[in-house]
Structure 1
């Protein structure tokens, strides 16, 4: 097991964000220890849980292996593909405003020269948000250009111009809407198109996300800025530079904290409990983003806007994970069971996915317990 200092905790509460202090309930500190064991090489692990009315936020360790500050509930971790869930929320908010529509073709926001080759019906915004666009996982040419920085910052030198050129040369691998194929390309493109729709050519995704989602929800430790303090990421014990994705920030450029992520999960479980005074459009988006959009054949599983949905007896379990070269992240929730969990570690993902699997298993057990108690 990883040997880390005692946890810092924000204790349980029924209303508002948890406050700092205390050691945490035994079940939560035990779970934090189990997560630390599944993240060898991490100097910091953070956990936030909603269990019915109870909320607990814990942080364990320090922000760096050498000379790091104590990790706290507000420590920023890179969250990788969990960024996509924020892009989905931004899409739903802009739909609620009437600025865009889910069935808008992406060509509405693209110059003719950047449009991908057609394969039947047009690619729409909702196709991008459900991984049904037919676009490949990565843009053509990115792997070749990223080879030298693959284990540190493979997206850092990939530009918006590179993205547009790759899009123009891309032929979807399946007709839009016919097949689920996970695509960083697609969701990165979605973030750029939303910024274009709101602010015109050259629109800034990070600024738009802050204006429409992060600031209204009070998420002061979430954003794409690489200059803000954050934990140091590690890969096989070696520190990694801050992750940068200038051309596709909507796919994986965000950082967040355990406390901030729990605020979002609370709002997704019950939009009525979101901070008072948030725009009506954002409250509507919190409800809309969880609606199932795509059913996967033979499995019973579905996809909402970005979120994966697994059916469980009496309730649905929503989940997503993320990673960069130096960080691993997980978030999941069950609206019916009133349960949520997010876990963050400052080490890159192991090949066996142990950290994410342990976090998912913990959420699954908590939801079963709550469902049984309420039944």
Structure 2
């Protein structure tokens, strides 16, 4: 067991670092040693307890908060830079290619490097509809570039689904933006979390932490051991965490998976359906014909043909599934063709809950937020774009749904596998 003095730092998520770390870590010694760097467990713990200088180590000038420190630590650990071993092979996109040749060539000519990626799947929406292209081998067990129906993990772009479900529920008269959360989740009556509004949950301004207490602990363990952070989660646990969660009215805007998960749970109750999967299917994916888009509350609900994700160092990423954070994007599976349908429906206003794209509040400098969707200046400075991104273990995604010019280029890009959506220039 590594012994590190308890530090005074409190986590942004409401759980004291010393409480999380004051446990018998010997059970993790063998798997961490198997990763190749057992000594780095002490390094991670020293960072979290504030007894290790971080600025030089992480090549950052400063950390504005413990939450920011934890965010960067998660990025580094999940990328394999602190715990996982460097593998002997170098990972990059192969020469495999499929689909529209012009689109594939335009991807290949983009500035920058694809190092660390395994493959990319791309959709471009123009006046004549979408075209698709894939680059690189999506699955090392089966050579070939991903096609439009290759299944990958979507991540937090799911929040645009939840935002649309919120807008749709408002239109149906089932909820109002200013309704308190406890109106739909009775167990939160009389708690700080129960008093926050549905609108604030969608806008990341509720004052709730980024994750519930249970998810904070499981996320750190999953990063250290390369495991699914949501495997043991449930809706009941989400509500129990909310019942004891701190709410800071002066917190301002803090990106919160916790808040969006609670919003989705409230929408399920308001609609009178069994679960988030049912709500998503009945109101969004089935009406739009997004037949390959599903969420996985259990391991057996993960699509069998979903491609694997990999970390930057070539380590196979764990498959994510679990009920608690489904509305926030913990375990959504989709394809480039389905995302093209979603983007097109939002562009032409035919998507259920399309009003979710309209900004309703500021979110940081030069950025506004609607119900889930973000609007900010375009990367080239020529207009505005409405968008969302996402990340899970081994996948990275980006989806723009509105630009100030005619063509609407989209791309599905993955971290060492086929994955989400990114802009092409």
TM-score (norm: length of structure 1) = 0.77
- Output one character per residue of 1:181-222: Cα deviation in whole Å (capped at 9) or x when no partner: 10010011111111122126xx31012101110010000111
SS at match of 1:233: coil
Gaps of 5+ in 2: 1-90
1:94 to 137, 149, 169: 169
Mapping 1:65-104, distance limit 5 Å:
65-67=140-142, 70-104=145-179
1:49 aligned residue (103, 124, 136): 124
Q: Residue 371 of structure 1 corresponds to which residue in structure 2?
A: none
Match of 1:117 in 2: 192
Q: Do 1:327 and 1:344's aligned partners in 2 also have CA atoms closer than 8 Å?
A: no
Aligned equivalents of 1:323, 1:130: Cα separation in 2: 19
Contact 1:191/1:250, CA 8 A, preserved across alignment: yes
Aligned to 2:277: 206
- Taking a change above 3 Å as real, the CA distance of residues 115 and 213 of structure 1, as seen in their structure-2 partners, is farther
C-alpha distance in 1 between matches for 2:416 and 2:237: 27
* Alignment match of 1:311 (pick from 377, 380, 393): 377
Summarize deviations over 1:108-167 as a string: whole Å, max 9, x none.
Answer: 011245663269xx3111111111111111112322234432333112212323212211
Question: 2:307 corresponds to which residue?
Answer: 231
Residue aligning to 1:331: 399
Counterparts of 1:305 and 1:38 in 2: how far apart (Å)? 33
Quote the residue 2:204 is aligned against: 131
Q: Deviations over 1:255-283 (max 9, x none)?
A: 111111111111111125x6xxxxxxx2x
Post-superposition offset of 1:344: 2.8
Distance 2:321 2:122 in 1: 24
How big is each residue's C-alpha offset from its partner over 1:304-357, in whole Å with a ceiling of 9 and x where there is no partner?
1111111356742112110101111111132542443433344369xxxxx99x
The reply to whether residue 24 of structure 1 matches residue 101 of structure 2 is yes
Report the Cα distance in structure 1 between the residues aligned to 2:116 and 2:349, rounded to whole angstroms.
Answer: 37
Change (3 A) 1:116 1:36: farther
Higher-Rg member (1/2): 2
Aligned to 1:322: 390
User: 1:35 & 1:243 partners in 2: Cα distance?
Assistant: 31
Tell me the equivalent position of 2:98: 8
Contact 1:36 1:42 in 2 (8 A): no
Cα displacement (A) at 1:169: 0.9
Contact 2:96 2:136 in 1 (8 A): yes
- Answer yes or no: is 1:292 the counterpart of 2:382: no
**1:19 paired residue number:** none
Q: Name the count of aligned residue pairs.
A: 323
Partner of 2:302, secondary structure, is coil
* Partner of residue 144 from structure 1, selected from 217, 223, 227: 217
Q: Give the whole-Å Cα distance in 2 for the aligned partners of 1:242 and 1:154.
A: 10
Matched ranges for 1:241-320 at <5 A: 241-252=318-329, 253-272=331-350, 282=352, 285-286=353-354, 288-296=355-363, 299-311=365-377, 315-320=383-388
Whole-angstrom distance in 2 between the partners of 1:345 and 1:359: 6
Greater RCO (CA < 8 Å, at least 6 residues apart): 1
Deviation at 1:32, TM superposition (A): 2.8
Show the counterpart of 1:12.
none
Query: Once the 2 structures are TM-superposed, how far is the Cα of residue 36 of structure 1 from its aligned partner?
Result: 11
Q: Distance in 1 between matches of 2:332 and 2:165?
A: 13
Q: Determine the C-alpha separation between the residues in 1 that align with 2:136 and 2:190.
A: 48
- Partners of 1:45 and 1:38 lie apart in 2 by 12
Q: Give the superposition deviation at 1:248.
A: 1.3
Deviation at 1:4, TM superposition (A): 2.3
Sort the Cα spacing of 1:117 and 1:54 in 2 relative to 1 into closer, same or farther, 3 A. closer
Could you tell me which residue of structure 2 aligns to residue 13 of structure 1?
A: none
- In 2 relative to 1, CA 238–36 (structure 1 residues): closer, same or farther, beyond 3 Å? farther
Distance 1:222 1:293 in 2: 27
Structure 1 unaligned blocks of 5 or more = 10-22, 275-281, 350-354, 366-375
Cα distance between partner residues in 1 of 2:415 and 2:382? 35
Q: What is the CA RMSD across the aligned residues, in angstroms?
A: 2.9
- Asked if structure 1 preserves the Cα contact closer than 8 Å seen for 2:118 and 2:138, the reply is yes
Q: Distance in 2 between the 1:190 and 1:118 partners?
A: 11
CA distance in 1 between counterparts of 2:392 and 2:206 reads 24
Kindly indicate whether residue 286 of structure 2 is the aligned counterpart of residue 215 of structure 1. yes
C-alpha distance in 2, partners of 1:171/1:248?
18
